[in-house]
Amino acid sequence: MERTLDRVGAFAATHAAVAASDPLHARSLVLQLPGLNRNKDVPGIVGLLREVLPARGMPSGWGFVEAAAAMRDIGFFLGSLKRHGHEPTDVVPGLEPVLLDLARATDLPPRETLLHVTVWNPAAADAQRSYTGLPDEAHLLESVRISMAALEAAIAVTVELSDVPLRSPAFVQGCDELAAYLQKMVESIVYAYRFISPQVFYDELRPFYEPIRIGGQSYLGPGAVEMPLFVLEHVLWGSQSDHPAYREFKETYLPYVLPVYREVYARFTGGPALVDRALGEALVLGVRSEPVRAGLTALEGVIKVLLRFRAPHHKLAERTYEVGRSGPAIGSGGYAPSMLGDLLTLTCDVRSRIRAALDES
């Protein structure tokens, strides 16, 4: 348990450092955005953004933390302007170079991402940045905060497990630790079900997450799909999948996760995933061996937790876009909600492969 807290705490501390940073001294200005958005006051939004922007571009002394926090605060203006029908760089001269500088400093896209608006955003009511100020938006941000650090810890465990033999007691221990971290994803989706109205999400929140153009390229808006769960699943079971829509899905969102996870993704691409390797070992060793059965059972336990997240996430997306049937059929992060059905099916297939191996005895 102590190790678990240490892992999660380390990731949470990094998020907290960015959340606490206000290099542009923009807190009071960004907090005016919900009122301006309610009034559709585009000149007011543009005027505040001009006040927020650093006069001489990004200061040379800034590191990752300052650049990420600055992108967070500028980013809420970007989504707001696009929600009212304007490309931000078209209406604010001098904005584009600042965004590109911040992107280079963080090695992330030149706009706000899921990280910026959730875990890098102060949670305190008098400091939390918001497009709308609605309770549903605050709950949406909290649903991501519940699970992000635990998910990052889970990725670290999955990478470690890739080198642990199936029959080792450490394999079972690692799977149990991994399942415990992933349980936070289940908690986050339960929280979202309880506190976020599909109607409010679709009508009031989603319009702030539209793509914008910067430097001649289109960049997707923040969406839960940018969580690095797809990186974990790539290492766990998906690195050799030949499902074309699944491959495209992963490659679409890869630029929106931290550089360290892009490196993890590249390291495992084309090689056997953890499940593939474990099933190969089981075939050689025989599933009647108790350590082998214990390892496969623990691995199945991880997949079961993933399914407890995937199934309700798919239902929640269907429910949300049923509410907005007459509007856009693309999710808040730019994906088709049907992709969640594909992910659910692929995850079920992984569990079936493990069950088939266990049943061979």
Please give the pLDDT value at position 146.
97
Question: How many C-alpha atoms does 361 have within 13 Å on its Cβ side?
Answer: 17
SS3 content of the chain, % helix, strand, coil (to 5): 70, 0, 30
pLDDT digits (tens, 9 = 90+) for 101-133: 999 999 999 999 999 999 999 999 999 999 999
Q: Are 87 and 212 in contact (CB under 8 A)?
A: yes
Residue with tokens 């769960």: 229
Please give the pLDDT value at position 335.
59
Identity of the residue numbered 57:
G
Domains along the chain?
A: 2-133 (1.20.58.1320), 142-359 (1.20.58.480)
State the chain's mean pLDDT as an integer: 94
Evaluate the CA torsion angle 167, 171, 173, 176 in order and state its sign.
Answer: negative
Please give the pLDDT value at position 336.
63
d(CA 116, CA 310): 24
Q: Are 98 and 151 in contact (CB under 8 A)?
A: no
Intervals of the chain under pLDDT 70: 1-5, 324-336, 361
d(CA 355, CA 361): 11
Question: How many C-alpha atoms does 261 have within 13 Å on its Cβ side?
Answer: 25
Residue spans of alpha helices (H) in the chain: 2-20, 27-30, 33-38, 42-52, 64-83, 88-91, 95-106, 114-117, 135-145, 148-161, 169-195, 198-200, 229-233, 244-253, 259-268, 274-285, 290-323, 338-359
Residues whose CB is less than 8 angstroms from the CB of residue 285 and which lie 6 or more positions away in sequence, other chains included: 166, 167, 292
pLDDT digits (tens, 9 = 90+) for 311-333: 999 998 888 878 766 555 565 55
Q: Are 118 and 144 in contact (CB under 8 A)?
A: yes
Q: What dihedral angle (degrees, nearest 10) is formed by the CA atoms of 358, 291, 273, 5?
A: 120
Please give the pLDDT value at position 2.
46
Q: What is the largest CA-CA distance in the chain?
A: 71
Question: How many C-alpha atoms does 241 have within 13 Å on its Cβ side?
Answer: 26
> In the chain, where do the E strands start and end?
212-214, 217-219
Please give the pLDDT value at position 338.
79
d(CA 209, CA 332): 6
